Amino acid sequence: MSADTADALQNHPRYQMALHHLQKGEWKAGISHVEHLMVQFPLVPELRTLRQDFLLRAKFERDERTDLAIEKALRFRKMVTRIITVSLIAVIGIGGIYTYSSWLGEKLDLARQTVEHEIQMAQLYAKAREAQGLLSVGRPGEAKILLDEIANINLDFPGLKETMAQVEVATSLEILYLEAMDLIAHENWTNARTILENLVALDPNFRDIEYQLNYIEKVTLLNDIFAQAEVDFQSEMWEAAVTGYESVRALHPEFRSEIVEERLYFSYVNAARETLIDQPDSLKALEIAEGYFRKALTLRPQDSEIKAERELARLYLTAQEGFSNGRWSEVIEALEAVYAVDPEYALGTAQQTLYDAYVARGESEVVDGEYDTALNDFQRSIALADQDSDAVLRLYEAQIRTAEVLGILGNYQVAVGHYQVATEIGGLKRRNARENPTLIALLQDAEYYTTHGNFGMAFERYHQAVEFADTTQTTVIHVVQEGEYLTMLASRYDSTVRAIALANGITNANLIYVGQELIIPILP
């Protein structure tokens, strides 16, 4: 028995209760606790010994009560015999003690011999019952000692030969049983099963052989599952390895516990990372990975690296849920933390979602008349989009949103500056005049008013120009696949959620569906 198993047993509440009942002489209650413990600790010999002690002491107590009753009856019989004898002596003495003294002595000797014989037989019966008790609890060696004592006194004692034969059989069974237990202790399951099956054929009710056979079947199954999990682990089939090791722990938590725990931990971590490598921007993959990281942390709660990886996945999932429900501040708080650690998290979709959350919260603040805070969010979206050289449409959109709020605040000169940057980013000036005469005319007017310091009129013309440009954006068609979501598509095509929503008349980002054809604006 290992030190961990010994500590677990000694500290188990049922074990403590069993010892308490042993001290109190409460045999039946104690046996119940020991039998429960034997299910949990089947290979601990101390439990089987303790159970046998309970059974034997209970048997001794019953036999002691029986012996006391017999002894009481014998004392009563002896007392009656003595009274009769004394009375007889008195009567004979009155009639002539000298005449009948020889006859009286013979009667007295006979009475004494009868009483002594009855006492001896009572003692032998008590030993026979004790021997049967020892035999019933699997202690044939001790039972044989008592039977030998009986044979030395009375070789013809009733049932002695039959009981001796039972002892011989039980001794043979006991030897086989102990051999099987030794094989089990050394994990020689095949030979142990063979011996136990032979025991079942000889005596189906001997000891706990049925339980031990079930245990061997369970352990054999565990070995098979563990072996397959080891193959999966070495082959880096992490999800299959997780399934195998989890099955082993569920069937028997103590089975090779240290190895299983270590393998399971690395399987969790590698399964999570593999899932993210294959589909880093998939919400389903992120949910699976977060679950694996969480399980890994239950095994090693202090692993800071896994804590950090799990926290990134959790924050990202929280942000996407918040985005779907319009909780922009919650999204921004979560994704700012993610972006600070890994700007390219989820193939850049974290950055994309953070940008769209800034824009969405800014537009909500404009509706509420909170123009200063809206301006701050739009400026933050500019700073974020400026970090990605491919985010042309994002930066274009952010400059326009900022210009519009500045116009509302009456700061037309600065607003015009943002419009100018937007038209340059979007390449509006470089468009063919024949194909876009209205757009080119509006931009020329805006530049004229800017040159002459009329920033209010310049703002108006730029505003009209970008609205017109929105109707002539370069687009692609995308068919929505299983697991895709709007910020993922915006990131994949370097577009924006706002632009996709406007192009398709989407009012709720959750309403896109598998098979839907989406117009994706990719350039202003």
| H or E element at residue 162 | helix 160-185
**How many folded domains does the chain comprise?**
1
Rounded distance between C-alpha atoms, residue 400 and residue 466, angstroms: 8
Q: For 345-358, what is the mean pLDDT?
A: 91
- Predicted pLDDT of residue 432: 57
At what angle are helices 349-367 and 392-408 packed, to 10 degrees? 20
pLDDT of residue 138: 62
* Residue 98 pLDDT exceeds 80: no
pLDDT at 469: 80
Cα–Cα distance measured from residue 307 to residue 92, given in angstroms and rounded to the nearest whole number: 106
Which of the pair, 263 or 470, is modelled with greater confidence?
A: 263
Confidence of residue 251 (pLDDT cuts 50, 70, 90): confident
Residue found under tokens 């696949």: 481
Question: Which residue range(s) make up the domain with 145?
Answer: 43-207
pLDDT of residue 96: 52
* pLDDT band with cut points at 50, 70 and 90 for residue 434: low
Structure-token pair, residue 429? 């000036």
* CA distance linking residue 56 with residue 131, whole number of Å: 10
Higher per-residue pLDDT: 132 or 29: 29
What are the tens digits of pLDDT across the range 42-75?
Answer: 667 777 777 777 777 777 777 667 766 666 766 6
The per-residue pLDDT for 479 is 93
Residue 80 has pLDDT above 60, yes or no: no
Query: Average pLDDT, stretch 393-399?
Result: 90
Residue 103 lies in a domain: yes
Give yes or no for residue 294 having a pLDDT over 80. Answer: yes
Instruction: Band the pLDDT of 353: cuts 50, 70, 90.
Output: very high
3-class SS string, 39-76 = HHCCCCHHHHHHHHHHHHHHHHHHHHHHHHHHHHHHHH
Residue 90 pLDDT class (50, 70, 90 cuts) = low
Q: Are 358 and 384 in contact, with CB atoms under 8 Å apart?
A: yes
Q: Are 85 and 111 in contact (CB under 8 A)?
A: yes
Choice between 453 and 67, residue whose per-residue pLDDT is larger: 453
Residue 159: which residues within 8 A CB-CB, separation 6 or more? 128
Residue 201 token pair: 């054929």
262 pLDDT tier (thresholds 50, 70, 90): very high
* C-alpha 102 chain-centroid distance: 92
Indicate the length of the chain as a whole number: 524
Residue 183 placed within a domain: yes
Please give the Cα distance from 261 to 257 (Å, whole number): 6
Question: Is 488 inside any structural domain?
Answer: no
Segment among 163-172, 330-339, 436-445 with least mean pLDDT: 163-172
* The token pair that represents 214 in the structure block: 């079930």
Instruction: Answer yes or no: is 474 within a domain.
Output: no
Decide which of 171 and 361 is more confident.
Answer: 361
DSSP, res 509: G
DSSP annotation of 507 reads: S
SS3 479: strand
Q: What is the pLDDT of residue 308?
A: 92
The pLDDT confidence band at residue 347, using thresholds 50, 70 and 90, is confident
- Above 60 in pLDDT, residue 496? yes
DSSP 100: S
Q: Find residue 477's DSSP bridge partners.
A: 519
Quick one: tokens of 33? 């606790």
Any domain includes 157: yes
**pLDDT value of position 524:** 64
Residue 92 has pLDDT above 60, yes or no: no
pLDDT of 179-212, one tens digit each? Answer: 888 888 888 888 888 888 888 787 787 777 888 8
Extended strands (E) in 227-324 = none
Half-sphere exposure of 367 (CA within 13 A, CB side): 6
Query: Which amino acid type is present at position 114?
Result: T
Lowest mean pLDDT among 148-152, 408-412, 448-452: 148-152
- The three-state secondary structure class of 206 is coil
Q: Is residue 505 part of a domain?
A: no
pLDDT band, very low/low/confident/very high, at 135 (cuts 50, 70, 90): low
Average pLDDT over the chain, rounded to an integer:
83
Low-confidence winner among 89-93, 243-247, 306-310 (lowest mean pLDDT): 89-93
Task: Please give the sequence-ordered ranges of beta strands (E in DSSP) within 414-485, or none if there are none.
Answer: 474-479
CA distance 276 to 309: 11
Mean pLDDT of 481-507: 85
What is the per-residue pLDDT across 5-37, written as a single tens digit (0 to 9) for each? 667 777 788 888 878 877 777 877 877 877 777
The mean-pLDDT minimum among 63-77, 247-261, 444-458 falls in 63-77
Within 13 Å of residue 334, how many CA atoms lie on the same side as its CB?
22
The per-residue pLDDT for 388 is 86
**Residue 348, Ramachandran bin (φ over 0: left; ψ between -120 and 50: alpha; else beta):** left
**Picking from 8-17, 323-332, 356-365, 399-408, which range would have the lowest pLDDT averaged per residue?**
8-17
Phi/psi of residue 159, each to 5°? 80, 0
